Amino acid sequence: MLKVEEVTKKFDETEVVSKVSFSVNRGDILGFLGPNGAGKSTTLKIITTYIPPTSGNVYVNGVSILENPQEVREMIGYLPEQVPLYSYLKTREQLEFVAGLRGLTGVKKKLAVEEVIEGCGLSEVLNKQCGVLSKGFKQRVALAQALLGSPQLLILDEPTSGLDPLQIIQIRELIKKLSKEKAVVLSTHILQEVSAVCTHVVIINRGKIVFDSPLGMITGSLEQIFVQRVIENGKVG
């Protein structure tokens, strides 16, 4: 589904991502870990075609981000860390607006909106403005709009940031449910999050992959592995 091949990114002469490679299959949830400044956000921006790589390539379902970026965008649902909602729009209006941006019209648009409303449990807040929603419901709305158009790949950046324990459990369960039909990349600082929902772990530090393993093959504490691999690769960040 997702294949990142030898991706490097330079800003001027500074190399912030260096020959990064990993893959994610349909049905898998990849936990993408790293300290601040490790290159996580830059890698995600390349995958989602916000910025091009200096070298290397990314394929989503076999389609290259360099050759067919628009086709790749249509296959990706992206939830950035800063929730992208218009505070003055009601929940249904927000979803209908984004559905339109995704190119959905008529019956397809209506059905798509209803599907994500049900899947993300938004029925009770459809007529509330996004600006007055709780943090948990804002995350749900943002996730719902990322699902519009039935993307095959979900990119989730800190999806449970700032949520209370019950909201975290609800979002985690929703992510696991969604992963049955999609490939998911979950970028987070919370190691417990990875242990709770992920099937695979990739750790990046100083722009390089320093650990890549299925979660089920890890022996010992993920926290210990994280600290060890970051220290082995040099100072944090």
Q: What is the pLDDT of residue 80?
A: 86
Quote the CA–CA distance of 105 and 41 in Å, as a whole number. 32
For residue 89, the model assigns a pLDDT of 97
What is this structure's pTM? 0.88
Res 183: pLDDT = 94
**Percent helix, percent strand, percent coil in the chain, to nearest 5:** 40, 25, 35
The per-residue pLDDT for 235 is: 54
Delimit the domains of the chain by residue range: 1-75+152-237, 83-151
1/190 Cα distance (integer angstroms): 25
Mark the ranges of the chain whose per-residue pLDDT is less than 50: 236-237
To the question of domain 1-75+152-237 being in CATH 3.30.70.360, the answer is no
Name the phi and psi angles at 137, rounded to 5: -70, -35
Tokens of 16: 């912030």
